[in-house]
Chains A and B, each alone.
Chain A
């Protein structure tokens, strides 16, 4: 180290040279991420692609996935934005604990989340038993259960993103609104929310993508019933058991839809290249 310190100026001059030491692992990393996707394209049964795509099961699973992921994102927005606001803007005593709890679903395996949901909302669950005893309602293994499972795993992405945006926003604009006579509710709707809109949008997209790919919690809590709870990831897994070619087709469809939506939305909230 010491020997190099003397030649620091020399290193500066050579800064234009290609940094192989970083480039090699970077290229390897990129290859690692892209190669599997290329593999999908290479092994796709292009001759039968159209007929497989038009099978009713595929369409059902795709529609179910899009609908549930969108519903889960809507629920997450409704509950997650206020939660993020509480975390970012109030001095609640247990705020640190709450923030830790919010991020728990990010780190636990989704299957564990599914089991936990069953224990609480299942027919014999801590809360679910009352719904069943009093109203004869059972949540698990319904389409609603798919949404619940997706909200559980995906909402933290939204909360974290929106909280960050709220912390970064200039609060003096809220002061200005207050001097103009705006109540807290109006300030939130007309000033704060528009200010953090990019953060909310980014969080919503992350949340939607995560919900679309949800597998573990869904199959545990909602089961695998075609047309009702069988989303695309589940359909892919099932197809893999019977005909890998169909699994490839389904995977490509899921990939194409995700990419299309991500690329379509990206321009809206950030000028990032």
Chain B
């Protein structure tokens, strides 16, 4: 109960955070989480400023939810430290942490009304009954559910239940808000709606928020910063646009729809590490680099293209699938192992008259290739 008001600084934007270095006391959340379970080891450092939304992005089983549960104190840590608003919570039991949590399937108490669900937290923390109910009613009003206050969770739609769950988490006035896949249980239709509502609600929240998701769109829309976790470790972090523009692993590249290669740059040429292939880039570089280009930057030809294209590969078609309003073609060179995806229009594909297994020419302008250092 000795909250030191140390987190006064509010770097709402562009918080200059040294990647995983020391932990300045100004962060609303500074955590080093180490969880061991069987052969799985989670070891991540998370930081978020007050008012900042941090997204944990990663594939299933990467340890995102485990990290969130560790922050909540629901999963025991083997090592590490959790500091929220300058207060060390590492050994504080869950019920005494200043947190609010929204669970993946909301976990609203079925035997209570929406109002009672929201009032539960304040009641548990010693707020008198009438005051707790008043606070709950006000929060439900704010999320636009005043009319549903007396309903049981079963009688609420998915989007409504999600908002009740958020109101319930906010009712305890947490300093750290934890959201575990808050949109995963919703159908695509309501999802966009609830997502933009959630964005507004998160913007109003003045503490640090951590949101676990495997959907890059959630991360882009909701988060100020993204931390990508794979296999229990942080593989990339930064503002969402930066992560999307410059992915550092195949997982992120696939998520944001980029062809990604790691290799060695010599001047304006990148020698791809895993395949005997070269990629020409616009600006000369040296050393270990990533080279990335979007599938729509790839043009396909039946004959060797003539002209200024600097990157041209002869590749075999591995697969063709519809992708939104265009067609995604997967291509590979069976000899060198070089592979890429290309997006073409259905009309363009018809001109090409390709078949799986057929060989075509793929070309990419050097100016379309983004090149950035690994280190």
Contact = CB atoms under 8 A, between A and B. Distances in A.
Interface of A: 170, 172-173, 175-183, 186, 190-191, 194-195, 197
A183 B107 contact: no
Given A176-B103, A179-B100, A180-B168, A190 B120 contact: yes
Contacts of B93: 178
Interface residues of B, number: 25
Contacts of A183: 95, 124
Given A180-B121, A181-B125, A172 B95 contact: no
Nearest to B116: A190
B251 interface: no
Contacts of B121: 180-181
A195 B110 CA distance: 8
- Judged by DSSP, the binding face of A is helix
A180 B103 contact: no
Contacts of B178: 179
A122 B66 CA distance: 56
Contact of B94 (A179, A186, A195): A179
Nearest to B178: A179
Nearest to A193: B111
Given A175-B74, A190-B120, A195-B111, A181 B103 contact: no
A191 B95 contact: no
Interface in B163-185: 168-169, 172, 178
- Judged by DSSP, the binding face of B is mixed
A172 B103 CA distance: 9
Given A178-B74, A178-B94, A183-B95, 17 more contacts: A173-B107, A175-B94, A175-B107, A178-B93, A179-B72, A179-B99, A180-B121, A181-B121, A181-B125, A182-B95, A182-B120, A183-B124, A190-B109, A191-B109, A195-B110, A195-B111, A197-B111
Contacts of A172: 103, 107
Interface string B93-116: 111110111010001011100000
A26 B124 CA distance: 53
27 contacts: A172-B103, A172-B107, A173-B107, A175-B72, A176-B101, A176-B109, A178-B73, A178-B93, A178-B94, A178-B95, A179-B72, A179-B97, A180-B95, A180-B125, A180-B172, A181-B95, A181-B96, A181-B121, A182-B120, A182-B124, A183-B95, A183-B124, A190-B109, A191-B109, A194-B109, A195-B110, A197-B111
A195 B107 CA distance: 12
Contacts of B97: 179
A180 B107 contact: no
Contacts of A170: 107
Contacts of A179: 72, 74, 94-95, 97, 99-101, 169, 178
A194 B108 CA distance: 13
Nearest to A197: B111
Contact of A186 (B111, B124, B169): B124
Contacts of B103: 172, 175-176
- Among A170, A181, A195, A197: residue with most chain B CB under 10 A: A181
Interface string B110-145: 110000000011001100000000000000000000
Contacts of A197: 111
A175 B74 CA distance: 7
Nearest to B118: A180
B95 A176 contact: no
Contacts of B95: 178-183
A175 B111 CA distance: 16
A181 B99 CA distance: 9
A173 B178 CA distance: 16
B120 A180 contact: yes
Contacts of B107: 170, 172-173, 175-176
A195 B125 CA distance: 22
